[in-house]
A and B are shown apart, each in its own frame.
Chain A
């Protein structure tokens, strides 16, 4: 193992040739197309939307969904590796892919009608169309069941009222998968861009995920055709099913972010000299690097195992919670250690550290906060739910 790589336990040997090739291809794409310009994107708060079509051409959007709808029909491990490599570039790029793949395409595929699937999935897979997912509301984050957004049937239409907050891709989406209560039950609806009564407001002043679009969605007597209901959606279980897929990818993604911080730290520790020797020769710096590599390795193994279980049909959402909780918290710790190790350079966008660190602050709490995932595991262990 060369010191700057992160495959300490030869985990590559646990991957198939195909899985490694996907990982290397996405890594090459990220090295060439994302990393050279991402610091500027982050600083200017610009989402690099031109990369969406490229991801579509590479067939890495909606990776696990079936080929009959223009998707690759690949495995969860491959999906995870894609997320890992994208977030090695930036959490914003990975967030785009997670949302489009797991929160837009997956629910259309799982809960949609045949017409909805045929209409939306191929274009979303090619990156010609963009989607967003509206579940969270300003006052309902960890408790989505308390949502205020309502749908009412009116003849051949549904009328939506309410608002959604912190919605990735909101302002650039052609279609929003919106969760609203219909007669007291949570159902999914497809709301197209430009529908009267539907507006998206860009959320500004973010200090995290700056290379990603985040929006508020507002529905004021927004009338959509009755066929835009996702017919097989029903109850909170439906959006949570989507979140399970996305959270699983986030575990891999956060690990990718940690890998980027670690790799930069190893290089820095060898190049930066103080007291006439590289800072990597100091014990406290070595301690940081050793802790980083250990946690990255542990997260890689956990993610891979959860992925294999999913591919074998044995995956449970509690597994996902463990992987997401572990990877995001360890990645954030690693980014903070890397930030410390880089000294003043750690706060400059000339280095990737502060960007990853700020991004991970979001990744740590979105799609189920660290604490909520702990409580999901706590429920699993004791049989006693600590919330609800």
Chain B
């Protein structure tokens, strides 16, 4: 099986997000970046498929120079090689122009299945994989919590989470894109020998020229969406503490709920 994993490097989930003064993005100084947590499920599942059926696991990621660290983490977990779409032209992409660049990098590769997280925890759009599957003309199955690849590698049975805790079981012909959800597996830790080997594994860097795309198809120029503004929710105001006898308190409370909070 030739297994691809689409992976994104995102700010650590414990990062305290600060919006820049212009409101055009977040302050990136001092942020620790990690592999998107949902992509960890994808890497783990890819490694499990490889362990069972043989083959190779290739990590495909788009991002600035620093994204190499996240690719190396996946290589340390046991993936075989990386493909890194890295060019200033790719910056500022939306889901569509990201999918476009990923598709360009993936098209020349041989693949039987593509895995990725169900969404990246930074922008939370959950759209890249659907657009990518469309551009590659393959099926996609979203929010997958169980996956069984058929022995011949031609199809897979995936379980999806649907409303009310129910499960939907889908059989899909391969290649397909599988969007991984928490619960699918427990991602392994990179091992020390794995980390030592990772630095020798190849990462193919694809810039704009190598991608075969033009500058206006990718990044901010190729985006269908333009982000106008970022803002944080207002800070919660301090609560009110009422004082007095119970009867008085009840009267005051009803008054406030009616007149100020307009809740009753």
Whether B190 lies near A2 (C-beta < 8 A) is: no
> A2: nearest residue on chain B (CB-CB)?
B30
CA distance A59 to B198 in the complex (A): 14
Q: Known contacts being A1-B30, A2-B30, A21-B76, is A29 close to B196, with CB within 8 Å?
A: no
Q: How far is the CB of B238 from chain A (nearest CB, A)?
A: 13
Interface assignment of B230: CB less than 8 Å from any CB of chain A: no
Given contact pairs A17-B69, A17-B72, A72 touches B30 in the complex (Cβ within 8 A): no
Bound form: Cα–Cα A58–B78 in Å: 12
Specify which chain A residues have a CB less than 8 angstroms from the CB of B192 in the assembled complex: 22, 58-60, 63, 72, 74, 78, 82
How many residues of B are counted as interface, with CB atoms below 8 angstroms from the partner's CB atoms? 17
CA distance A63 to B193 in the complex (A): 9
| Residue contact A25 to B195, C-beta cutoff 8 Å | yes
Q: Is the CB of A21 within 8 A of B30?
A: no
* CB neighbours of A17 from chain B (8 A): 69, 72, 199
Q: Does A154 sit at the interface, judged by CB under 8 A?
A: no
**CB-CB nearest in chain B for A60:** B192
Q: Flag if B189 contacts A58 (CB, 8 Å).
A: yes
Q: Is A57 an interface residue (CB 8 A)?
A: yes
Residues from chain B with a CB closer than 8 A to the CB of A59 are 191-194
How far apart are the CA atoms of A144 and B73 in the complex, in Å? 45
Contact of A18 with B by CB under 8 A? yes
Q: Mark B190-219, 1 if CB is under 8 A from A, else 0.
A: 111111101100000000000000000000
A21 touching B72 in the complex, CB below 8 Å, given contacts A1-B30, A2-B30, A59-B194? yes
- CB of A315 within 8 A of chain B? no
Give the docked Cα–Cα distance between A69 and B98 (Å).
46
Digit string of A58-101 for contact with B (CB within 8 Å is 1, else 0)? Answer: 11100100010000111000100010000000000000000000
Bound complex: CA A73 to CA B196 (Å): 9
Contact A57 B30 (CB under 8 A): no
Chain A 137-166 near chain B by CB (<8 Å), digits 1 or 0: 000000000000000000000000000000
A28 adjacent to chain B (CB < 8 Å): yes
Q: Quick one: closest A residue to B194, CB to CB?
A: A59
Q: How far is the CA of A59 from the CA of B76 in the complex (A)?
A: 12
Interface string of B82-122 (1 = CB under 8 A from A): 00000000000000000000000000000000000000000
B189 contact from A1, A29, A63, A72, Cβ within 8 A: A29
Q: Measured between alpha carbons, how far is A128 from B72 in the docked complex, in Å?
A: 28
Residue pair B191, A21 in contact (C-beta under 8 Å): no
B68 to chain A minimum Cβ distance, whole angstroms, is 9
Chain A residues with Cβ under 8 A from B196's Cβ? 18, 72-74
A24-36 interface mask toward B, CB cutoff 8 Å, 1 = contact, 0 = none? Answer: 0100110000000
A236 to B188, CA, bound (A): 42
Closest chain B CB from A267 CB (angstroms): 12
B contact residues around A78 at 8 Å (CB):
192
Q: Specify which of B30, B192, B198, B199 lies most central, judged by the most chain A CB atoms within 10 Å of its CB.
A: B192
B74 to chain A, nearest CB (A): 11
Q: How far is the CA of A78 from the CA of B188 in the complex (A)?
A: 20
A52 to chain B, nearest CB (A): 14
Q: How far is the CA of A78 from the CA of B191 in the complex (A)?
A: 12
CA distance A63 to B195 in the complex (A): 12
Which of B69, B76, B193, B199 interacts with A72 by CB under 8 Å? B193
CB of B249 to closest CB in A, whole Å: 25
Contacts of B69 in A (CB 8 A): 17, 21
Interface residues of A in 5-59 (CB under 8 A from B): 17-18, 21-22, 25, 28-29, 54, 57-59
Contacts of B76 in A (CB 8 A): 21, 25
A2 to B27, CA, bound (A): 13
Q: Which residue of A lies closest to B69 (CB)?
A: A17
Instruction: Determine the distance from Cα of A67 to Cα of B16 in the docked complex, in whole angstroms.
Output: 41
Sample of 15 more A-B contacts, CB < 8 Å, known A25-B76, A78-B192: A1-B30, A2-B30, A17-B69, A17-B72, A21-B195, A22-B195, A25-B190, A28-B189, A57-B191, A58-B191, A59-B193, A59-B194, A60-B191, A60-B192, A74-B196
Interchain Cβ contacts under 8 Å between A and B, 21 examples: A2-B30, A17-B69, A18-B196, A18-B199, A21-B190, A22-B192, A22-B195, A25-B76, A25-B190, A28-B189, A29-B189, A57-B189, A57-B191, A58-B190, A58-B191, A59-B192, A59-B193, A59-B194, A63-B192, A67-B193, A82-B192
Give the top 6 A-B pairs by smallest Cβ distance, nearest first. A59-B192, A59-B191, A72-B192, A59-B193, A72-B193, A25-B190
